[in-house]
Structure 1
Amino acid sequence: MTNIYFRIYAILSLSLILLAAFVVYLGPTEAKSLLGETGPIERASALGYFLCVGYMLLAGGRDFAKRRAYIIVLVTLFGCRELDFDKRFTTMGILRSRFYMSSEVPLLEKLVGLIVIALLLWAVINIVKNHLTSTLANLSKLNERAVGVLMIFVLLAVSKSIDGLARKLKPLGVETSQQVSFLASSVEEVMELGVPILMIAVFHSWRRSRTG
């Protein structure tokens, strides 16, 4: 466990915990400028994804872009999602089922939405098909890339599950206080910031293993 990447993961985890604690300490009013859609945390998350894509293209070269295009597409879509591109240019969010059923949404918007969804599914399917088995096998060996991928998955899964927590719990008859909603929102935004950083670290490890 002396691998440099495990130290990076540990430092990143501690940094995210401290940042989340700082945001919560500030409180809803003071932290609003940090957590907003145009705030530095969300902007940094989006920038991280696009930096990751740029790094992949520059360091991986044409061969990586051809063989692993689905990874580049997925990371790009993540970056666009952080900038709210999924709803900024359309009548409503393209990730909602109502978007495709509503008569208020123009046909062209629906077609564009379907293309984006198809790209997303294509990328995810290819990642699962090409990397799931090897990643699971490498986890038992505590391979740094496999551990990094697991951390990415955990951050994505947990942040998604607590995103809009009050809205998700309301149909179940569970009312959440403003304090709990603020805590969930703070943790979610900070966790999302860690994802592109981990992606860059995992790609760096992969490239290092190929060249060294």
Structure 2
Amino acid sequence: MYRHHEATDRSATSGSLSDRVERPARLAEGIVWVMIFALVSALVIALDAGALAPGEKLTREGGSVETMSMVGYLVVIGAYLRIMGRHSFWAVPMVLLFMAAREFDADKRFTSEGILSTKILFYDTPVREKILALAIWAVLVWTIVSLIRHRGPDLVRALRGGAPWALAFAGGMAVVVFSKAIDGLARKLSPWGIDVSAPVDRNAGILEEFLELGIPALFLLALFLKVATVPRSFPR
């Protein structure tokens, strides 16, 4: 029995030492990933800005800012699957994939109405588009519910404890909400009798596009912070 406990203690100590070595390395790796993404994004946007035709906007649909936002989500998916391997939870990359598709305007690109809008159901649209919309809604709801059910409690506990990874993730979600709130600001405020000038509305749109570029960067940072600070047995 003594030998059994001694072997167990050695195993625990070895695991602890392994974690102490691995976690700072993971954090450093995460910082490098974020910096590379930021530098590549800045380079692509700068090249795009230099090649703009008269009248074109840097934040146009399908432009460099929007494209790099989509690429950012794909980078997070790749990093998550690489780190977690067979322990990956399917809902995490699925939600990120939905967000990447949204940046690519896939919700409006292939149908007569936005596939996430109720207009596709109540307007005169093809039946196949209505069926597709319902199927995508079902998958999206199932994914979000699964994510909240299996990862929500751990996130809440981490936020209460002030865990850096949870704060980075919450920051990303806050940017998601704020950026969506200022998108089409004039249109959203007009029903309330609030007039927004054209320059303010335009600048809000520009700010929204650049804020969305930071969302995947925060998610990527949250991923590596979690790997660097949470024991391996903790669900990810």
Deviations 1:121-180 (A, max 9, x none): 112112222222222222232201110121011001101111111111111122211111
Deviations 1:29-87 (A, max 9, x none): 989531011211111100001111122222221221xxx11111100000000000001
Measure, in 2, the Cα distance between the counterparts of 1:123 and 1:202: 20
Match 2:67 to one of 13, 19, 43:
43
Name the structure 2 match of 1:34: 58
Measure, in 2, the Cα distance between the counterparts of 1:73 and 1:165: 29
Structure 1 residues 134 and 58: CA distance shift in structure 2, 3 A: closer
Matched, 1:202 2:222: yes
Structure 1 residues 171 and 30: CA distance shift in structure 2, 3 A: farther
Aligned length: 190
Alignment of 1:74-153 (within 5 A): 74-103=95-124, 105-153=125-173
Matched, 1:59 2:83: yes
Q: Larger deviation: 197-206 or 69-78?
A: 197-206
Measure, in 2, the Cα distance between the counterparts of 1:52 and 1:31: 33
Length-normalised TM-score, structure 1: 0.80
Measure, in 1, the Cα distance between the counterparts of 2:218 and 2:119: 33
Identity value in percent: 29
Could you say which structure has the higher helix fraction? 1
Deviations 1:88-134 (A, max 9, x none): 0001101111111112x111111111111112111211222222222
Work out which of the two has the higher radius of gyration on C-alpha atoms and give 1 or 2.
Answer: 2
Deviations 1:170-210 (A, max 9, x none): 11122211111022112111111111111112222233335
RMSD: 2.8
Task: Give the gaps of 5 or more residues in structure 1.
Answer: 20-25
Instruction: Tell me the CA shift for residue 211 of structure 1.
Output: 5.1
The answer to whether the Cα contact below 8 Å between 1:169 and 1:175 also exists between their aligned partners in 2 is yes
Measure, in 1, the Cα distance between the counterparts of 2:154 and 2:197: 43
Matched, 1:190 2:210: yes
Measure, in 2, the Cα distance between the counterparts of 1:61 and 1:185: 38
Measure, in 2, the Cα distance between the counterparts of 1:79 and 1:63: 22
The answer to whether the Cα contact below 8 Å between 1:46 and 1:82 also exists between their aligned partners in 2 is yes
Structure 1 residues 101 and 157: CA distance shift in structure 2, 3 A: same
Query: Where in structure 1 do 4 or more consecutive aligned residues deviate above 4 Å?
Result: 29-32
Q: Output the amino acid matched with 2:66.
A: E
Q: Larger deviation: 84-93 or 122-131?
A: 122-131
Q: Output the amino acid matched with 1:34.
A: L
Task: Give the gaps of 5 or more residues in structure 2.
Answer: 1-23, 43-48
